């Protein structure tokens, strides 16, 4: 058989972003701190970019404002030659009180705290080495993540330490006796039992320990009537024991290890601020970006600075200046376009959700999707999505992510938003009888009475969205 050649013609439509569009998209997705870092990085990398000086600083050249101390320090070639006494200031009288600055040490980690407690006891170096390995197998909540058999094998294989099971159990018991109570537990039940054994042996405490050790499954299902019957106690006695269990810490390891650095990571810097004056709303784009311009020597082709250079060097210099000037102009234009886009998108959101910004009531949130804002701004849906991703707005009522304002209609024929129904559901659950909480069918009926016709599975979805457990787990004694 002979092969045959065939020529076919196909037509395909593709949409590709240019490098300039890709760069704009990347800038649009950045939040406040990220765009500030990007501007700082661009100014450092591109000599054609210049930060416009404040008017207060301009025109002060030639003004002499150095002190006598500054003049004396200028006599030295570098800071290493300056004597230490030059950096000391003595502007106090003899009656002044002098305070030494106190350095605040960071909070110890969980392992550091446990090892420090063990070091204060009469534990031998050999046992301390094994205890260190045990503590190293605790998770962030303080639970032991490996079985004793596994730890025994790990010690023999990885550390070359031979120890018998009885000795290992004794060291684990020693670690479990450390603070905070409940540390080195095998599971939640064991953690609660460890804490209960540290409390004074009162009647309610003994009952709480019996519940945790022998009836934990029934307690976790909140079958309180059955639990009281099996224990032979009244509701008041059971309530006291349950209150003690609820006061315990299920994650004892979480008490240590939170540093100031972690707190900073959780800090949110809003990108917008909405101020309320009566019924008037004022939108402010929080802008810590400096004003940028083209550096003076890059405005022209730079030939006046290279008159003595060879033709080739002059050509390369002109190409370099033109390329950097073009990059700088492009970045300034993209930055301005980013700010205009963000402001226009947020302005549309504020107009659309005007009632919420006036009242700060979630029930006043209108159903709103990306398409609604795209129609008001003329931008593509992808632009709206990127402009609102990771951005926050500060209002008199709090700080909200921009995605918070987008919520779909529950049904196509209703004007009720998801936030409105969530607020109504939260109100109903907050007012329910804690001894006989409402199940999803009862919630569906209550919402229907308020005018929200929902299916049972939708009610369950919204309840889970609020982080509210099922009725059985909300039941109190």
pLDDT of residue 100: 44
Whole-structure pTM over 0.85, yes or no?
Answer: no
Angle subtended at Cα 279 by Cα 275 and Cα 282, rounded to the nearest 5 degrees: 30
Q: What b/e readout covers 358-385, taking b as 16+ CB neighbours within 10 angstroms?
A: eeeebbbbbbbebebbbebbebeeebbb
Quick one: how far is CA 81 from the chain centroid?
A: 46
Contact by Cβ (8 Å): 176, 252? no
- Rounded CA-CA distance 49/55 in Å is 18
- Rounded CA-CA distance 191/187 in Å is 6
Contact by Cβ (8 Å): 287, 39? no
pLDDT of residue 465: 79
pLDDT of residue 61: 42
Contact by Cβ (8 Å): 274, 355? no
Torsion over CA: 369, 372, 374, 380 (sign): positive
- Rounded CA-CA distance 125/221 in Å is 46
pLDDT of residue 432: 86
- Rounded CA-CA distance 367/48 in Å is 47
132-135's contacts with Cβ under 8 Å and 24+ in sequence apart are 133/159, 133/161, 134/171, 134/172, 134/175, 134/184, 135/110, 135/111, 135/175, 135/184
- The residues, ordered by sequence, that sit 6+ positions from 282 with a Cβ below 8 Å of its Cβ are 274, 275, 276
**Could you state, in chain order, the average pLDDT of each consecutive group of 10 residues for the chain (477 residues)?**
69 67 87 89 89 53 48 55 53 49 53 87 88 90 90 86 90 90 91 92 90 89 87 89 90 65 59 88 87 83 57 80 89 93 94 90 83 92 90 90 79 60 84 85 86 82 82 77
CA distances, 302 to each of 3, 298, 324, 332, 433 (Å): 64, 7, 12, 21, 81
| Local structure of 368: helix, strand or coil | strand
38-41's contacts with Cβ under 8 Å and 24+ in sequence apart are 39/289, 39/290, 39/292, 39/335
CB-CB neighbours of 423 under 10 Å: 17
**Residues paired with residue 124 on neighbouring β-strands, in sequence order:** none
Contact by Cβ (8 Å): 82, 75? no
Query: Residue 312 class from Cβ within 10 Å (0-12 exposed, 13-18 middle, 19+ buried)?
Result: exposed
| Local structure of 129: helix, strand or coil | helix
DSSP codes of every residue in 266-309: T----SEEEEEETTEEEEEE---PPPEEE-GGGTS-SGGG-TTS
**Residues paired with residue 292 on neighbouring β-strands, in sequence order:** 51
- Rounded CA-CA distance 439/436 in Å is 9
């Amino acid at each position: 058989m002979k092969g045959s050649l065939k020529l076919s013609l196909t037509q395909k439509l593709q949409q590709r972003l240019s490098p300039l569009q890709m760069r704009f998209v990347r800038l649009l997705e950045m939040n406040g701190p990220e765009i500030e870092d990007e501007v700082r990085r661009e100014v450092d990398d591109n000599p054609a970019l210049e930060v416009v000086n404040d008017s207060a600083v301009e025109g002060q050249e030639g003004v002499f404002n150095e002190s006598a101390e500054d003049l004396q320090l200028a006599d030295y070639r570098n800071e290493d030659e300056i004597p230490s006494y030059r950096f000391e200031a003595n502007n106090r009288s003899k009656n002044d009180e002098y305070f030494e600055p106190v350095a605040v040490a960071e909070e110890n980690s969980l392992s550091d705290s446990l090892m420090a407690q063990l070091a204060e006891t009469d534990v031998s170096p050999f046992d301390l080495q094994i205890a260190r390995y045990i503590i190293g197998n605790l998770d962030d909540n303080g639970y032991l993540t490996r079985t004793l058999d596994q730890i025994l094998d790990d010690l023999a294989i990885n550390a070359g330490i031979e120890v018998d099971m009885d000795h290992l159990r004794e060291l684990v018991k020693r670690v479990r006796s450390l603070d905070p109570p409940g540390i080195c537990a095998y599971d939640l039940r064991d953690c609660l039992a460890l804490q209960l054994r540290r409390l004074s042996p009162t009647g309610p405490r003994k009952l709480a320990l019996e519940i945790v050790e022998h009836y934990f499954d029934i307690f976790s299902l909140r079958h309180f009537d059955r639990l009281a019957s099996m224990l032979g106690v009244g509701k008041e006695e059971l309530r006291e024991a349950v209150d003690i269990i609820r006061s315990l810490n299920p994650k004892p390891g979480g008490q240590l290890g939170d540093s100031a650095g972690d707190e900073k990571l959780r800090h949110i810097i809003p990108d917008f601020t909405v101020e309320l004056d009566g019924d008037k709303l004022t939108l402010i784009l929080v802008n810590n970006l400096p004003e940028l311009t083209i550096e003076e020597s890059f405005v022209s082709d730079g030939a006046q600075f290279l008159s003595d250079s060879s033709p080739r060097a002059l050509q390369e210099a002109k190409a370099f200046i033109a390329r950097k000037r073009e990059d700088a102009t492009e970045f300034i234009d993209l930055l301005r376009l980013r700010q205009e886009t963000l402001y226009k998108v947020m302005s549309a959101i504020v107009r659309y959700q005007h009632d919420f910004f006036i009242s700060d009531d979630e029930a006043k949130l209108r159903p709103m999707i990306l398409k609604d804002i795209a129609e008001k701004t003329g931008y593509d849906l992808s632009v709206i999505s990127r402009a609102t991703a990771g951005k926050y707005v500060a209002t008199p009522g709090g700080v909200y992510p921009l995605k918070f304002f987008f919520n779909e209609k529950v049904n196509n024929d209703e004007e009720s938003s998801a936030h409105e129904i969530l607020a109504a559901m939260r109100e109903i659950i907050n007012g329910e009888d804690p001894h006989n909480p409402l199940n999803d069918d009862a919630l569906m009926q209550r919402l229907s009475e308020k005018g929200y016709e929902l299916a049972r599975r939708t009610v369950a979805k919204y309840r889970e969205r609020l982080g509210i457990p099922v009725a059985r787990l909300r039941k109190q004694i």
